[in-house]
Amino acid sequence: MEIYTTHPRRAELWEKHRTRLEEARTAWHKRTYWYAYPEDQRAYPEAAAAQGEGDFKAQLGRPFDRLRQPARRWLISDEVSPYTREPLGLSYPQTEVSEAIEAAREALAVWRWVPWSERIGLLMESVERFSHRFFEVAHATMHTTGQAWMMAFQASGPHAADRAVEALAVAYEELSHIPEKVRWEKDLGRTRAVVDKYFSPQPEGISLHIGVSTFPVWNVLPGLYASLAVGSPVLIKPHPRAIYPIAVVVAILQELLAEYDLPPTIVQLIVDSVAAPVTRQLAEHPYVRIIDYTGGSEFGAYLESLSGKVTFLEKAGVNSVLIESVEDLGAVAKNLAFSASLYSGQMCTAPQNVYIPKEGVRTATGMLSYAEVAQVLQQAIEELAGHPKAAPAILGALQNDSVAERIHTLEAQVQVRRSAAAYAHPQYPQARTLTPIVAELSGADAPAAHTEHFGPRLLLVPVESARVGLEALYQIAREKGMLSCAIYTADPEFKREAACLLAEAAVPVSFNFQGQVFINQSVAFSDFHGTGGNPAGNASFVDASFIVKRFRWVGVRDCLAG
Amino acid sequence: MEIYTTHPRRAELWEKHRTRLEEARTAWHKRTYWYAYPEDQRAYPEAAAAQGEGDFKAQLGRPFDRLRQPARRWLISDEVSPYTREPLGLSYPQTEVSEAIEAAREALAVWRWVPWSERIGLLMESVERFSHRFFEVAHATMHTTGQAWMMAFQASGPHAADRAVEALAVAYEELSHIPEKVRWEKDLGRTRAVVDKYFSPQPEGISLHIGVSTFPVWNVLPGLYASLAVGSPVLIKPHPRAIYPIAVVVAILQELLAEYDLPPTIVQLIVDSVAAPVTRQLAEHPYVRIIDYTGGSEFGAYLESLSGKVTFLEKAGVNSVLIESVEDLGAVAKNLAFSASLYSGQMCTAPQNVYIPKEGVRTATGMLSYAEVAQVLQQAIEELAGHPKAAPAILGALQNDSVAERIHTLEAQVQVRRSAAAYAHPQYPQARTLTPIVAELSGADAPAAHTEHFGPRLLLVPVESARVGLEALYQIAREKGMLSCAIYTADPEFKREAACLLAEAAVPVSFNFQGQVFINQSVAFSDFHGTGGNPAGNASFVDASFIVKRFRWVGVRDCLAG
């Protein structure tokens, strides 16, 4: 019996990308430095940058007509550039939820029976084609999210593509564990049992991906590629203010699928507006069985409460820093100032609370008092925020007005050492900018320390001692969760104790990050992004669980003799 | 930094069992015939049988004093032999729920930091020691569950041990993917980043295992060993009528843990009575994060509804058979009669509904009418049930009175062709026995076809055609789920279509099972038991998901240069 049918052209894609995929799988195992796509834009063909910019400019103010999915009307999007404050003027085909589900069901019936090797080959090819569009997507990302150019290029380009390849590598690992067919034979004495066994990975059902406005590609690609690899069609519901970047990816996939005789509706873009969202309607649909989501904790809890769904959630946490002892406080302060300022603190991994012992901090040149430590940290923020080149390159712009509102609300609750204030962007005078607030809390119990204040902020939290600070970190980890956590210590015993304690709370600690190594960054093929085990989220990019929860092995036995 | 500390004696256990474990992992990948423990009792030392019987007899009527866990009182158990109808007279130390949880928390703090290789080495050793107790456990199983001797030996002995080794092999596979420590280096141009990375698998929390009265060992060992392998302590709450068999396993583990300087309370036996159950109290406890369960669908749904738990559930389904065409109907009928009679239909994989086309069934010697097919099936049941040696060896006894009550209730709803009736057991005149009812339903829509009637039964369901029967199977699969499904067909096209359709419903189909190959059996290292994707359960013995959902990778980064 042949359960799967081979498609020669798709099988060629598998052969084309197989070696690369095996390298990626090996990298995932080894976890040393490796990448599939270079993060340096100079590594790409010289013409690509101009081409990408041209494509971006040509797309502005026009319908996005690259998609291949049924739609009866066009939606003019809510996308507005945080730099120019002008609407991008794009419109997208708006597929009805019921039509999208129906198309996805039909796509599921086909896609689940494409051999996984052919699926993964085709998906590797799609990432390769996406790499030719990194520059256009970078511009689209910059002008929807407010990210500065460099981050927009790296996060929505090579770093996202690497996470996609990583998801495919882990899917390859897991899917290749079990053979497609095997003959099982057992001597029964007088007779011999012969049973042909077939194993097929079957997806849970249709996937929904709910995008976020700040990282419209990076946070989508792991789940998108994980679901597609296991045979689940994906409905992508981007944030209404950040559609363009991921629409490019969907268009590439749809074109490729059609080229290889498959329904382009294996991936669909479902657009909505801020005024008329469709996310709940999609999430609650009984045929939607897998949900990937990045965003606020409240909506995340709602998604988790839906019965019959497998969810992969990245929610909010309260990322924290503890300074026990340092070699060079100036260097540490610079590093932390960068981490807190990067993309105006709109990263899920940006630090918020900095716990500092009241008794002061030991350094290579002697003890520094609490006040001195606070002053050095504040000074580092001042310098970065006031630097005419660094500020725009690092801070970028705020995605939307509510970020600034939140930070201003915070100002009313804390003792402000440095007010959040706009900086003047040299190229974009209209840019929505805000440099970090630096504030001081009364102590670890202060309510402001127990809430995420998403945006540019650094909250200094005095604690009796480093040990009390460690306990406070553990409590916050259990209560609110963290996506990142930094501890500075020169004491090996304290380090080991902190690593173990926080590992028990499923929080990944970064010790003594300095220079150009920042806690915001998690690197594909080496770092897991999130652990999935603390309140900040229930998933991790990309562990085995991120793949295997999406499908089930189904065995078929055919008895030839018994 | 050393996060893990090696314990030389435990590390020796890993070295001792490593080769065997690698063989098991390879077998799990290859899925051809392989076992860790032979199922033939003659393969065990000659003295073992007598020793096991002696141990069993010596234990009857006495306190089970082999456990090492805190308890203030002894509970006289509800265990009654289905063969003699006499209470076994065992009592067990009864640990309070709160004390058990506290001991498990303390055990968790230790066990999670034992390197996984040492954990798995020790667990392999425990299975090996358990194999020396197969005979005692077989007697204990027979006289708690009502299984016949051969099944009691195989299911609670070698087959259960093999599933335990399988769980350890898959844990080994998944845990060994990620290194414990790696140095990550990246050229940053003017500087070089050097980061030491540590990866530690952290269990979700404490595990609870809720046992079933019919398979008190076989259904427990996979989840027990999966949780222990990833560092989660386990509270085993056996069914109050089937404690003794698994108590032996717990005692072996506790003794071994103590011998290797570990808290014996890493595994605890929590006993209760039918009158005063503690299962809900355990399941709802916030520190209990992982729940394994075998049993009714209603309680399963309750467990699934608890928030913050990872559940592995095997619930009820409606196992179905479809006869499209056969070579030799007599042989098929014999095979099905065995499957329906084995352990009086008290297996989760026993067939219930047999769909037969009204237009008849094609055989190698011509068409047989519906009535003829029904007659041959009934005849095969009659012969088995009336056979003085086969009946006791195959049917065994009913675990409890409600099984017979359920079958008698069924009789009132259906057209009975053959009544369920007791058979006389040659050794145990008091045995609670019942041979299968054979009944006929009005059609696929009959309510009785849409409910599981756990016990000895075969329900014949006339359908318009084989194709209509296939559609009925698919509907039942979606609506109620199945743990097993058999289709008889000589038509390759029909076979392929049925395999694919039912795979989409996550139901594993067995085609043309005959001779000594029975659909009830799923073989470790080759067959997945359950798929986890249909309403009969959300877990599978033993796929990767059965392991990885129990833990999270936590990364620790230590920046040496940046």
CB A187 within 8 A of CB A117: no
Judged by a CB distance cut-off of 8 A, whether residue B513 touches chain A is: yes
* A38–chain B Cβ distance below 8 A for any pair: no
Interior/surface letters A403-428, b for 16+ CB within 10 angstroms, e for the rest: bbebbeebbeebeebbebeebebeeb
Q: From residue B199, how far is each of A302, A349, A399, A470, B561 by CA, in Å?
A: 31, 19, 34, 20, 19
Q: Which structural domains are found in chain B, ordered by start?
A: 8-315+540-561 (3.40.605.10), 320-511 (3.40.309.10)
Name residue A439's beta-bridge partners. Answer: A416, A459
Average pLDDT over every residue of A314-342: 97
List the single residue in A31, A198, A545 with the smallest CB-CB distance to B182: A31
CA–CA separation, B233 and B228 (whole Å):
6
Among A279, A286, A288, which Cα is nearest to A311's? A288
User: If you average pLDDT over every residue of chain B, what do you get?
Assistant: 97
User: Rounded to a whole number, what is the distance in Å from the CA of B289 to chain A's nearest CA?
Assistant: 11
Is B8 an 8 Å CB contact of chain A?
A: no
pLDDT tens, position by position, A14-36? 999 999 999 999 999 999 999 99
Min CA distance, B489 vs chain A (Å)? 10
Q: Counting one residue from A and one from B, how many pairs have CB atoms under 8 Å apart?
A: 232
Among the partner residues B109, B186, B555, nearest to A528 by beta-carbon distance: B555
Does any CB of chain B come closer than 8 Å to the CB of residue A58?
A: no
Q: Report pLDDT for B370.
A: 98
Residue B5's Cβ-side half-sphere holds a number of Cα atoms within 13 Å equal to 5
8-state DSSP, B85: -
Contact: A496, B191; criterion CB under 8 Å? no
CA dist B300 and A539 (Å) reads 25
Rounded to the nearest 10 degrees, how much is the dihedral formed by the CA atoms of B518, B519, B524, B529?
Answer: -170
Q: Which of A517, A526, A548 to mutate to test the interface with B (most CBs of B within 10 A)?
A: A517
The one-letter code for the residue type at A187 is: D
Please name the residue of chain A whose CA is at the shortest distance from the CA of residue B187. Answer: A33
DSSP annotation string for A215-238: -TTTTTHHHHHHHHHTT--EEEE-
Separation of alpha carbons B514 and A192, rounded Å: 11
Q: Give pLDDT, residue A323.
A: 98
Sorting pLDDT into bands at 50, 70 and 90, what band is A142? very high
Q: Could you tell me the pTM of the whole model?
A: 0.98
Nearest partner of B111 among B208, B7, B219, B199, judged by Cα: B7
Question: B516 and A562 in contact by Cβ < 8 A?
Answer: yes
CA distance B408 to chain A (A): 34
Q: Is residue B520 less than 8 Å (CB to CB) from chain A?
A: no
Residues of chain B contacting residue A516, judged by C-beta atoms under 8 Å apart: 188, 191, 193, 562
Question: A545 falls in which pLDDT band (50, 70, 90)?
Answer: very high
Residue B325 near residue B492 (C-beta atoms within 8 A): no
Contact A197 B559 (CB under 8 A): no
A62 Cα to chain B: minimum distance (Å): 40
Beta bridge partners of residue A210, listed in sequence order: A237, A293
Q: What angle do CA A413, A417, A419 make, to 5 degrees?
A: 75
Residue type, B25: R
Q: Which of A545, A546, A549, A551 to mutate to test the interface with B (most CBs of B within 10 A)?
A: A545
> Taking CB atoms and an 8 Å limit, are A112 and B504 in contact across chains?
yes
Q: Is B174 in the A-facing interface, judged by CB distances under 8 Å?
A: yes
Residues 6+ apart with CB under 8 A from A196: A1, A181, A182, A183, A184, A557, A558, A560
The verdict on a CB contact (< 8 Å) between B556 and A204 is no
Q: Which residue of B has its CA nearest to A506?
A: B554
pLDDT number for residue B466? 98
Q: Closest Cα partner for A440 from A366, A513, A353, A509?
A: A353
Q: Considering CB atoms only, which of A173, A304, A516 is closest to B191?
A: A516
Query: Nearest Cβ partner of A556 from B33, B499, B552?
Result: B499
**For the CA atoms of A40, A44, A49, A55, what is the dihedral angle to 10 degrees?**
-120
> Which of B:71-90 have CB within 8 Å of A?
none
The C-alpha atoms of residue B542 and residue B448 are separated, in whole angstroms, by 32
Cβ contact, residue pair A495, B185, below 8 Å: no
pLDDT band per the 50, 70, 90 thresholds, residue A526: very high
Cβ neighbours of B496 in A, within 8 Å = 1-3
What integer is the mean pLDDT of A411-419?
96
- Say what the alpha-carbon torsion angle A126, A132, A136, A139 is, to the nearest 10 degrees: 100
Min distance B182 CA to chain A CA atoms (Å): 7
Q: Which of B2, B177, B526 sits opposite A184 (nearest CB)?
A: B526
Q: How many residues does chain A have?
A: 562
Q: What tokens does A177 get?
A: 């564990």
Report d(CA B20, CA A368) in Å as an integer. Answer: 57
Q: What is the pLDDT of residue B326?
A: 97
Of B183, B515, B545, Cβ closest to residue A562: B515
CB spacing of A549 vs B553 below 8 angstroms: no
Q: How far is B221 from chain A (nearest CA, A)?
A: 21
Please enumerate in sequence order all residues whose Cβ is within 8 A of that of A141, keeping only pairs 6 or more positions apart, or say none: A147, A152, A153, A155, A156, A216, A217, A242, A245
Cα of A554 to nearest chain B Cα, Å: 6
Please indicate whether, in this complex, the C-beta atoms of A562 and B506 are within 8 angstroms of each other: no
Strand-strand pairing, A437-440 and A415-418: antiparallel
- The CB density around residue A381, as the number of other CB atoms within 10 Å, is 25
Mutate to test the interface with A, among B545, B549, B550 (most CBs of A within 10 A): B545
Residues of chain A with Cβ-Cβ distance to B528 below 8 Å are: 199, 553-555
- Chain B nearest CA to A555, separation (Å): 5
Distance CA B60, CA B86 (A): 11
What is residue A287's predicted lDDT score, i.e. its pLDDT?
97
Among candidate residues B299, B278, B303, B302, the one with its CA nearest the CA of residue B289: B303
Average pLDDT over residues A1-19: 97
Partners of A507 on chain B (C-beta within 8 Å) are 554
Task: Name the stretches of chain B with pLDDT < 50.
Answer: none
Q: Which of A305, A511, A557 sits opposite B558 (nearest CB)?
A: A511
> Residue B193 and residue A548: Cβ atoms within 8 Å?
no
The Cα of A545 is separated from the nearest Cα of chain B by a number of Å equal to: 6
Characterize the bridge pairing of strands B485-488 and B320-323: parallel
Interface subset of A 320-339, CB within 8 angstroms of B: 335
Q: Please tell me if residue B289 touches chain A, with a CB cutoff of 8 Å.
A: no
